[in-house]
Amino acid sequence: MKKISGSSLSRRQFLASTAVSILFTSTSGSLARSFSGQLPWSPFAGDPPTPVRPGPWLFFTHDEAQTIEAIVDRIIPADDLSIGGKDAGCAVFIDRQLAGFFGNFERLYMKGPFAKGFPQQGLQSPILPTQRYRAGLAALDDYCRTTFSGRAFSALALPEQDKVLQELENGSIDLDDADTKTFFELVLQNTMEGFFADPIYGGNKDMVSWKMIGFPGARYDYRDFVGNHNQPYPLPPVSIMGRGDWGGKG
Amino acid sequence: MARKLPRKDVVIVGLGWTGSILANELTDEGLDVVAIERGPWRNTATDFNVGYMQDELRYAIRKDLFLRPAQSTLTFRNNVEQEALPIREFGSFLPGNGVGGAGVHWNGQTWRFLPSDFRCRSHLSERYGEKFIPDELTIQDWGVTYEEMEPYYDKFEYLAGVSGKAGNINGKRQDGGNPFEGARARDYPLPPLDMTYGPKLFAEGAREAGYHPFPQPAANASRSYTNTLGVEMGACSYCGFCERFGCANYSKASPQTTILPVLMRKPNFECRTNSEVVRINLDRSGKRATGVTYVDAQGQEWEQPGDLVLVCAFILFNVHMLLVSGIGKPYDPKTATGTVGRNYTYQTYAGVEMFFDNKNFNPFIATGAIGQCIDDFNGDNFDHSGLDFVGGAGIMCASTNARPIATRPTPPGTPRWGSTWKKATTDNYLSSLYLNAQGGSYATRGNYLDLDPTYKDRLGRPLLRMTFDFPDNDIRMISYVTRKAEEIAKVMTPRQIVPHYRTKPYSVVPYQSTHNIGGAIMGSDPKTSVVNKYLQSWDVPNVFVIGASAFPQNAGYNPTDTVGALAYKAADAIRNLYLKNEGPLVPA
Ligand SMILES: Cc1cc2nc3c(=O)[nH]c(=O)nc-3n(C[C@H](O)[C@H](O)[C@H](O)COP(=O)(O)OP(=O)(O)OC[C@H]3O[C@@H](n4cnc5c(N)ncnc54)[C@H](O)[C@@H]3O)c2cc1C
Ligand code: SF4
């Protein structure tokens, strides 16, 4: 191979002149690129998250929004530990997640054929989160109207709502047209995500969940505290967006 | 039609940990090297930005930096009776994608294997007799000894700036280190990380129970460090966003923080990103690779000729690449013939959860590899006579994070929502601990990798098919070690102890580890191995297959120190043997 190394000199000279080049022109966002001769770096490059803005629902209809707000407010009820899931923004969080790449499982392998499989083979359904919410929320309200003389889920008394959610969880209600248990697990998962994720995604208002449990959030340097065994961490949490009392949006 | 590019001396498939090591070594040799990487370019300032890296939803839950199944995945079943179905969402393991590979978002737990691990079958036969080894196991020797590996382990650890405490330097026991480890030539390049409260309590408990605790070796720099290539790393800040995240502090060893700043400046190196290699091309004889074919992000196919092809694509994709390229004979479990895909193994985990009163562990103060461990029940460090299994597990208290979407321990029986759930979550978040038992994984005839007959990737190639369940031997092993962990937990006097035993079947849903192992294993016999002791293909000698694909079975440790050492060992063989005399380095 040594013999080829000699002839590769001209290649090297060629390469040195093309430190970073887009190999092939295209309009696609993720271009194939060639890098050589230096560490590529461009100022201000980065891929920060887009903060969720308040405003109209992006995915939910008015009725769906009412139902999901009622659900998240029972999953995370207001009590002396924290505000409820609705005020914390969990429904807004779910709405924005469903409107983004999560809603249609854009990153997952969704090619057929689809088969039921064993639980240990994981997700096998072709149904997307957006479809699951649409069908599940409608079926839940139908069920409630039939069972509770015309009242939708959000119109039930709080103990009635809790009872319905428990029955969804343990599978004793079977919603037509919706895989009840999978629907409930998805809502539970997304509600918890919204409550505990960085507030930048629309939930966890004012870092309420982090204050509740004692998680300092986006702080990145604990060197001064490693040795303080069994002592409370003294500083309040911060979000990727900072803190309210910094003057920004916390 | 593929467009043909000018020839290179060396073509590397994948620019993760092993690809970076090989590229740097072979460019030092003056060779003209191209690395072709299926994912994007990634660097610290842009992609692991301190302004927004600490985002659990994006990186840990939505898995932003990982390989997306839409691009590539595999199918899975527990045994040949079942129909394999695609892993539509990665769970149990999370392969990397992009420059740096899984080296970007690993934890940095950096372990050497035990000397006896490399002579697995011989060692057990010598100590207990051949019959002692359960029939189901197809474990074998590596064809390389710990002593041969030592200089390469040293090389990787000094590249990565590993923080730790030696237990054995040139045969002399060192206080505070692992008394069971093989002899090392010198101590770790950096002292251990400062200990948090949880691991400290565990170490006290373990010592009281008569065991030998020591700090876990960590590729999270405990001090600032200038590595062997002159690259500077910063001190770890115990940020708690390590595994699944890139490090914004230049503290976690990765190709980005240890190699790329040097490699990228070399004019005889080129990296092409967003370009997925679809196969290795062979000449008419089938005994010589002529280069690779890859597809770029725009769907254009390119042929890259090269004299030497290094497969550095991570174990699963290493095996896949051999199978789709027709290199070596695929393993058939019915006849137990063929080698490619044989001896696929994993890592066997169990653990013990502890809930305390009146303790505050500040569990968010954490690094990927901080912790205290005992090795008293790992490998063959304890006498197995009278026991019904071989192998073992490390026990460790290594709380790597307390990110709250995923980590909110509550005692069993707690509801999963509502006010009672909220109270239990708040009461236990700061005051619970977890002991991990990280066990080896031994090969069987029925666990293997091959090509799926039904499902295809986005480029139309068959997906890799994984057939795997935990061997009964490994379940017995991990149950035994979990009971030992429970005993240590008792010494630590928590309010409540909750053991989590490992049971069959293996599931691809909950995360366990990205320690996939085997399938292109090394050895001294071409009938039972895919590559020789230099990781050179027996069938196509100008192809080397680098990674954990080469381990004949797994030990009770994380793989990457051994992966890095094998990469250096292969590089050394290419530089000093292969280039002088291209062809098989070991006669078949
Ligand atoms: C979450 C996580 C935690 C981990 N923690 C630890 C730990 O604490 N300790 C430890 O020892 N190990 C750990 N590991 C494992 C460790 O990351 C791997 O052992 C190591 O990165 C393997 O190096 P590699 O070069 O074989 O693969 P990688 O570093 O993954 O590199 C392979 C590269 O090849 C590319 N590639 C694959 N196929 C193709 C193709 N067809 N064409 C072009 N490019 C391709 C990939 O995109 C990737 O960039 C962890 C892994 C993960 C994911
Ligand atoms: S824990 Fe340390 S090494 Fe890991 S990402 Fe944070 S600063 Fe980096």
Query: What are chain B's domains?
Result: 3-578 (3.50.50.60)
The C-alpha atoms of residue B559 and residue B514 are separated, in whole angstroms, by 9
DSSP-based three-state secondary structure for A156: coil
- Taking the CA of residue B370 as reference, the ligand 2 atom at the shortest distance is 1
pLDDT for the residue B325? 98
Report pLDDT digits (tens) over A43-59: 778 899 999 998 999 99
Sign of the C-alpha dihedral computed for residues A149, A151, A152 and A157 taken in this order? negative
Higher pLDDT, B290 or A11: B290
Q: What dihedral do alpha carbons B336, B326, B38, B463 form, nearest 10°?
A: -50
Determine which residue's CA is closest to atom 4 belonging to ligand 2.
B242
Place of tokens 């190196």: B269
Backbone φ/ψ region at B386: left (φ over 0), alpha (ψ -120 to 50), beta: left
CB of B45 less than 8 A from some CB of A: yes
CB of A65 less than 8 A from some CB of B: no
pLDDT for the residue A174? 87
pLDDT for the residue A30? 66
pLDDT for the residue A40? 84
B75 → chain A, closest CA residue: A121
* Max CA separation in chain A (angstroms): 87
**Is residue B320 flagged as an active site residue?**
no
CB of A82 less than 8 A from some CB of B: yes
Residues of A in contact with B456 (CB under 8 A): 111
Average pLDDT for consecutive 10-residue bins of chain B (588 residues)?
95 98 98 98 94 97 98 98 98 98 98 98 98 97 98 98 98 98 98 98 98 98 98 98 98 98 98 98 98 96 98 98 98 97 98 97 98 98 98 96 98 98 98 98 98 97 98 98 98 98 98 98 98 98 98 98 98 98 94
pLDDT for the residue A1? 56
- Whole-prediction pTM value? 0.96
pLDDT above 90: residue A81 = yes
Q: At what angle do helices A129-147 and A180-196 cross, to 10 degrees?
A: 110
Instruction: Identify the weakest region by mean pLDDT among A177-186, A197-206, B49-58.
Output: A177-186
A151-172 average pLDDT score: 97
Are B520 and B322 contacting, i.e. CB atoms less than 8 angstroms apart?
A: yes
pLDDT for the residue A31? 78
Sign of the C-alpha dihedral computed for residues B441, B560, B465 and B96 taken in this order? positive
Higher pLDDT, A26 or B343: B343
CB of A223 less than 8 A from some CB of B: yes
Nearest chain B Cα distance for residue A99, angstroms: 15
Nearest chain B Cα distance for residue A229, angstroms: 5
Are B387 and B132 contacting, i.e. CB atoms less than 8 angstroms apart?
A: no
The C-alpha atoms of residue B194 and residue B157 are separated, in whole angstroms, by 19
Tokens of A142: 């139908």
This complex has an ipTM of: 0.96
Residues of A in contact with B57 (CB under 8 A): 193, 197-198, 201
Instruction: Identify the weakest region by mean pLDDT among A28-32, A114-118, B178-182.
Output: A28-32
DSSP-based three-state secondary structure for B206: helix
A221-247 average pLDDT score: 93
Q: Ligand 2 pocket, B190 CB below 6 A?
A: no
CB contact under 8 A, A12 and B271: no
Q: Ligand 1 pocket, B198 CB below 6 A?
A: no
CB of A147 less than 8 A from some CB of B: no
pLDDT for the residue A28? 36
pLDDT for the residue A10? 38
Determine how many CB atoms are found less than 10 A away from the CB of residue A99. Answer: 16
Q: Any residues with CB less than 8 A from the CB of A7 and at least 6 apart, and which?
A: none
Please pick, among B105, B123, B384, B515, the residue that the annotation labels catalytic. B515
Q: Which of B163, B514, B531, B568 to mutate to test the pocket of ligand 1 (most atoms within 8 A of CB)?
A: B514
pLDDT above 60: residue A13 = no
pLDDT for the residue A177? 66
Interface of B with A in 230-259 (CB under 8 A): 235, 237-241, 248-249
Closest by CA to B99, choosing from B242, B275, B268, is B275
Rg of chain B on CA atoms, in Å:
23
Residue in A8, A81, A215 closest to B32 by CB: A8
| 3-state percent breakdown (helix, strand, coil) of chain B, nearest 5 | 25, 20, 55
pLDDT for the residue B421? 98
pLDDT for the residue A248? 52
Interface of A with B in 87-146 (CB under 8 A): 101-102, 105-111, 113, 115, 117-124
Determine how many CB atoms are found less than 10 A away from the CB of residue B330. Answer: 18
CB of A6 less than 8 A from some CB of B: no
pLDDT above 70: residue A208 = yes
> Looking at this protein, which amino acid is placed at residue A238?
V
Residue in A42, A102, A111 closest to B455 by CB: A111
pLDDT above 80: residue A26 = no
Q: Ligand 1 pocket, B13 CB below 6 A?
A: yes
A80-84 average pLDDT score: 98
Are B318 and B274 contacting, i.e. CB atoms less than 8 angstroms apart?
A: no
A241-248 average pLDDT score: 77
Are B568 and B155 contacting, i.e. CB atoms less than 8 angstroms apart?
A: yes
Q: In b/e form, how buried is each residue of A184-204, taking b as 16+ CB within 10 angstroms?
A: bebbbebbbbbbbbbbbbbbb
